[in-house]
Amino acid sequence: MSGQLFRLAWRNLWRNPRRTSIAMAAIGFGYVMLLFVACLMAGLRHQMIESGTGIVLSNIEVHAPAYYPNRSIHQTLGERKGTNVSALLAAITADRQVYAATPRVYGYGLVSAAHQSAGAEILGVDPKQEQKVTVLHTRIVKGSYLSEQIPKGIVMGDKLATTIGVEVGSEIVLLTQAADGSMGNDLYTIVGIFHTNLDDMDQGLVLMGLTSLQELLRLPPVRIHEVAIKLHDITEATTAARALQIQLNKTLPVRVRAWPELAPELADYVQFNRSVTFILFSIFFLLAIIGIVNTMLMAVIERTRELGMLMAVGMRPVQVVGLILAEAAGLAGASLVLGGAIGVPLLWYLQVHGLDLGSAIDEFSLAGVAVGRHWYGRQDFFAYSQAALGLAVTALASALYPALRAARFRPTEALRKV
């Protein structure tokens, strides 16, 4: 009986092909728009997370338990005794979720040129390893990135360079409080200038070699402040951080923090992004409800006499409900297939070519993150399945009122309808 019911339902849909085609096109277009929104919003989330964690922050950071919030120069991993940095990096990269890890040292001091000075955060990195974890080396606008061949070379932000009036090749003096209580100072050469479009970095960040900064701060090689980690899958940052916390604490007291904890503003935006996606989905579902209710209700009214005759010859009310719901399911299924066929090439285009926000926009800052002019989509199969399931459920729920109305027809009254 169920097979006959579905065949009858499908045939009934096409008794008015114009109305069915319009309804199918509307639902299919709605599904395409849901795919479009899901793909773009997922792409924006991923792009912002990559940008927010890829310039300096990193996906996960490992510190001494007491390093935050004061970030004291003395709070190195392993405290004053330090740690075996190579062994620590090996233990971290042994995790299959970890793509790369790099050691870092932080300092704060005065950057002085011939006539101007400015305060800045000083970050000491391993030039080769750092390039596997962050992308600051791709933001060099003048000169070059750090190199082991120039141990006294530094890289700084363009706004800081402008403030103190220096260019690539200029010599500057770094003055800072060393770990032994003395004043650390030395002469360095600017080898590169970067631009990130983030004022805090462009105005107040200096990069130099890890060993050079340890010497300036009077820190032995076994003492570092941080290990920055890049993952294969950034969405697993929180899970990976928990696993590393348990693993590393077996040999060394550490605090492992993922990017949502390190950058709460960025995490809040990601949650806001998901909320906006949900709201947009809800709007499309509401529009689908209106369209499907109208289509099915008109179909029921036009077939009042026919439904009355079917009930007069023995069709039970529950079967009438099943017939109307089957028609709605058929309409939804065909619409989803149509929308999917149109949506697949659109999703491919968004991922490969993206949306160009216009030549007037080079790069802008959103939630403290630099975002480029190209907005690329990203596959979000969970959202796609939610959209399909939501439209299917919406179609059945929307058809329920017309179906119940049809089930309440009295055969004798329905047969009098013309």
DSSP letters along 71-129, please?
Answer: --TT--TTGGG---HHHHHHHHHTSTTEEEEEEEEEEEEEEE-SS-EEEEEEEEE-HHH
Residue 342 tokens, joined: 């149109």
Taking the C-alpha atoms of residue 46 and residue 377, their distance in angstroms, rounded to an integer, is 9
What distance in Å separates the CA atoms of residue 125 and residue 205, rounded to the nearest whole number? 13
Per-residue confidence (pLDDT) for residue 364, from 0 to 100: 55
Q: Tell me which residue has tokens 């791709």.
A: 138
- What is the spatial distance between Cα 193 and Cα 170, in angstroms, rounded to a whole number? 11
pLDDT at 29: 85
Average pLDDT across the chain, whole number: 84
- At 393, which amino acid appears? V
Q: What is the pLDDT of residue 158?
A: 94
User: What is the reported pLDDT for 380?
Assistant: 84
More confident residue, 409 or 89: 89
Asked if pLDDT for residue 397 goes beyond 90, the answer is no
**Band of residue 1 on the pLDDT scale cut at 50, 70, 90:** very low
Residue 63 pLDDT > 80: yes
pLDDT of 360 reads 47
pLDDT at 312: 67
Q: Which residues contact 301 (CB under 8 A, 6 or more apart)?
A: none
Structural contact between residues 60 and 258, judged by C-beta atoms closer than 8 angstroms: yes
Rounded to the nearest 10°, the torsion over CA 252, 254, 259, 264 is: 170
Query: What pLDDT, on the 0 to 100 scale, is given for residue 208?
Result: 95
DSSP characters over 299-330: HHHHTHHHHHHHHHTT--HHHHHHHHHHHHHH
Identify any residues that bridge with 121 across adjacent strands, giving them in sequence order: 108, 205
| Half-sphere exposure in the Cβ direction for 301 (13 Å, CA) | 7
8 Å CB contact between 396 and 287? no
Chain segment 277-323, per-residue pLDDT in tens: 888 888 888 877 777 777 777 766 666 666 666 666 666 777 777 77
**% of the chain beyond a pLDDT of 90:** 40
Q: Is the pLDDT confidence value at 15 over 80?
A: no
Q: Of the spans 92-106, 139-153, 171-185, 375-389, which averages the highest pLDDT? A: 92-106
* Domains of the chain, residue spans: 2-52+267-414, 58-262
- What is the end-to-end Cα distance of the chain in Å, rounded? 29
Kindly state the average pLDDT of the residues 193-216.
Answer: 92
Are 133 and 127 a contacting pair, CB within 8 Å? no
Average pLDDT over residues 51-73: 90
Q: How many residues would you count in the chain?
A: 418
Number of Cβ within a 10 Å radius of residue 346 = 15
- Among 206-215, 231-240, 312-321, 355-364, the range scoring the smallest mean pLDDT is 355-364
